[in-house]
Amino acid sequence: MMNNVRDYIRTIADFPHEGIMFRDVTTLFADARGFRMAIDQLLHPYAGIPIDKVVGLEARGFILGGALAHQLSTGFVPIRKKGKLPGTVISEAYQLEYGEAVMEVHDDALKPGERVLIIDDLLATGGTAEAGIKLCRRLGAQVIGCAFVIDLPELGGRTKLEQMEMPVHALTSFDGT
């Protein structure tokens, strides 16, 4: 019987590269009970805390963020990879294992003082989430926290975000990469 969110997550060995244990949340999303459990548990720490917008990080953060925004009766803002958004954007570069990537958000997506919650499926090195936090802050928003389904603590993302004084909530963690 599947009693917790972790039970719904499939592990695929050697994807996308040899030696990587890929934590696949599509199996969680595909199961109605598992998906509901994840959304409820992601929201739980923020019960009673005013949230003006949910910010989802590309791409699985869009799935989770949309569901959370619906539950909170609030708006949803996507933070996307460079070149995916029409209109005027602001950008934030961040480091990958080999090289650099850029995340973007519309320059009018958030208003100064709005309280936002950042959502994604996985916290690894924390680069994407760090870029998301910086983009939100540059627009004047107050990021109240970051929530993830999975944390890979050995990769240091939680530590990086906590050093930015960012509360981190994760439903489960896995050892290794």
The tokens for 17 are 């590269």
At residue 53, the 3 state secondary structure works out as: strand
How many whole angstroms separate alpha carbon 94 and alpha carbon 99? 9
DSSP string, 22-74: EEETHHHHHSHHHHHHHHHHHHGGGTTS--SEEEEETTHHHHHHHHHHHHHT-
Catalytic residue positions, numbered: 60, 97
How many whole angstroms separate alpha carbon 87 and alpha carbon 72? 27
- Distant-in-sequence, close-in-space partners of 32: CB < 8 Å, separation ≥ 6: none
